[in-house]
Structure 1
């Protein structure tokens, strides 16, 4: 093979190799090996000093039968500088099924591992939540109850059933959230329903208080301060004065 007469396998597979290198570069090395002479045919985004014509050291490819798998990996590799790679190799056969070339893609895992570690550091809490700062924040308790229910049941708020919403309202009531003024609009927004729906569900809840205690449910936090802006109690019927005993004069 000379520059004037390039190897037909390079001509055939070069667009594929270049496309993979452009998509994954500069973090992927693409190598096309000669399965007959066991040497490098071409290389894109080289990660080492090897070049076309260098030994490939592929092994005994002639032992691969026509029914053997043609794609191997991803499998791990390590570079001298300590970088870890994920590699895939594909055996390319000629018209009669004989291995003709091997296409290898070596992906540098370093940037992915660094990004994963960075995201994990941001996602993990580094200190417990300071209770004195949030003991009167009823919105935090509301979010804990609703968010905890959503995560435990694997359904977003808009997909909760009527029974789910009643169960959530029961837990909010135990946590003291429903006793706080302006709680209903906030709960309706969090559950993605209308205020009238929440009031209807609260009426159903009062009619049938039930009990949905969940052994995995955390204990509700402290209730809101009784001096906070609570809704005034609904006026009930005026009690009739007790009858006075009649006396004989």
Structure 2
């Protein structure tokens, strides 16, 4: 097996993970770097491999090592994985190492953690008259209870939702009809029909 036969694999890995990783092909027999792609570490072909950081490469040893931590000279932290490529006799012929720079991922993790601050309640002074918020909460709560999408709601379901919206005061708000129709994904005429049926049912209720 020749190093040039493995070169397309190294190039493909580097292209996939660029610019966050370097890929290195080592020759364990000479303990030298054979090829390197996207050299974050500044190494070049012919430089020492320093594979002593891995366990002893042997016929009975593992073929994949890691992920294990490494650090560049400028302080950047890496996550590394090494894979042993064996010849026909089962002896280590080459070692592929993929070293991923964790900087971008650590920064993204810190950013996401900052956005995970506890959410406080909505200020009543700002939202007590926001009937659209109530509309969304009522519809979303109902479809969660039923385990269906809005498109799959039956006529009885829509009447039940309208009953909740009416009790919450949404239907008495100005310009609520177009918004309710959009939320239920029906036409205005269909909504007016449902509202008529809802009123009839309410009038017929002896309670």
TM norm. shorter chain > 0.5? yes
Given that residues 70 and 80 in structure 2 are in contact (C-alpha distance below 8 angstroms), is that contact kept between their aligned partners in structure 1?
no
1:183-241 deviations in Å (ceiling 9; x for gaps): 222112123232344345546656778xxxxxxxxxxxxxxxxxxxxxxxxxx9xxxxx
Unpaired runs of at least 5, structure 2: none
CA RMSD of aligned residues (A): 3.5
1:143 aligns with 2:139: no
Unpaired runs of at least 5, structure 1: 1-6, 210-235, 237-249
In structure 2, relative to structure 1, the CA distance for the partners of 1:114 and 1:146 (3 Å cut) is farther
Counterpart selection for 1:53 from 44, 47, 67: 47
Q: TM-score, normalised by structure 1?
A: 0.62
Structure 2 residue aligned with 1:130: 123
Rounded Cα–Cα distance in structure 1 between residues aligned with 2:159 and 2:28: 68
Q: Secondary structure at the match of 1:31?
A: strand
Structure 1 residue aligned with 2:7: 14
Given that residues 76 and 84 in structure 1 are in contact (C-alpha distance below 8 angstroms), is that contact kept between their aligned partners in structure 2?
no
Question: Deviation of residue 101 (structure 1)?
Answer: 1.4
Counterpart selection for 2:183 from 179, 187, 190: 190
What number of residue pairs does the alignment pair up?
198
Counterpart selection for 1:161 from 153, 167, 174: 153
Rounded Cα–Cα distance in structure 1 between residues aligned with 2:188 and 2:106: 46
Rounded Cα–Cα distance in structure 1 between residues aligned with 2:107 and 2:145: 30
Structure possessing the higher radius of gyration over alpha carbons: 1
Q: TM-score, normalised by structure 2?
A: 0.73
Q: Secondary structure at the match of 1:112?
A: helix
Structure 2 residue aligned with 1:101: 94
